[in-house]
Amino acid sequence: MQEPVVTEIAPDIYRVSVFVPEINLQFNHFVVDDEEPLLFHTGLRDMFPLVMGGVARVMDPSRIRWISFSHTESDECGALAEWLQAAPNATPVCSQVGSLVNRDFVSAVREARGMADGETLETGKYRFRFLRTAQLPHGWDAGLLFEETESTLLCSDLFHQNGDCEPITEADVVERARNSLREYEAGILADYVPYSPRTDRAMQRLAELNPRTLAIMHGSSYVGDGERALRELNGVLREIFGEP
């Protein structure tokens, strides 16, 4: 694992990125510097010291008030217990489904706040709308956060790009995502997204948010026409996972 690269991708939203050359993949964690700071993605447990070091370049990690993630998986929330220890006032935030069915993981240290679809999380100057996106990118408990003031979508595994990508780009990330998903289809990481008629509806709903910045877990963050990017990614998901 390499030392984290820290980049401000939107006002007071920082991307703490750790590249793992062995698997040719970046893991990105987003920290929001606000009155009640938010961390989105804890990272893997063995990555914790690195991510913590990256976050410490932005703020005192013990200030973090909210720790959120899309779904229960090692890179999303594997270091949740470590983070809750480092940030004694932090509360885990996940979907209502997550708070019920993954209780042993998400509420093991401190009771998680289970968010209903459309519910907002206020952090000070920022307001995050929780979007229930069950099974998208994957996982019954999946959800995303949309920051409404600056139009930033914290989109987890959507737009997954392999490689050591630049922190932020205005170039096309959909083609990169298509190539990465195609690569995964050829190996043990096939079937990344469970595709159903609901996938299309969920993707259209995300597109309608018209985000300006896409905070992407694996690969570059994207700034530009988020609506168009999400509509194009919808086509890619249908093409790769929707075929019988």
Footprint of Fe ion on 177-236 (CB under 5 A)? 217
**N-term to C-term CA, the chain:** 38
Binding footprint of Fe ion, residue count (CB under 5 A): 4
Would you put residue 135 in left (φ > 0), alpha (ψ -120 to 50) or beta? Answer: left
> Other CB atoms closer than 10 Å to residue 2's CB: what's the count?
12
Taking CB under 5 A as the criterion, the residue among 34, 82, 157, 232 binding Fe ion is 157
Q: Rounded to an integer, what distance in angstroms lies between the CA atom of residue 112 and that of residue 83?
A: 13
Minimum CB distance to Fe ion smaller for 113 or for 160: 160
- Closest approach of Cβ 152 to Fe ion, in Å? 18
Contact string (CB under 5 A) for Fe ion, positions 63-82, x = contact: ----------x-x-------
Strand ranges, E, within the chain: 5-10, 13-20, 25-32, 38-40, 66-68, 91-95, 113-115, 120-122, 127-132, 143-147, 152-154, 168-169, 213-215, 221-223
Binding of Fe ion by 34 (CB under 5 A): no
Nearer to Fe ion, 34 or 73 (CB): 73
- Scanning 85-93, 104-112, 115-123, 157-165 for contacts with Fe ion by CB under 5 A, the matching segment is 157-165
We find the least distance from the C-beta atom of residue 5 to Fe ion, in angstroms, to be 17
Which residues of this protein are in contact with Fe ion, per CB under 5 A?
73, 75, 157, 217
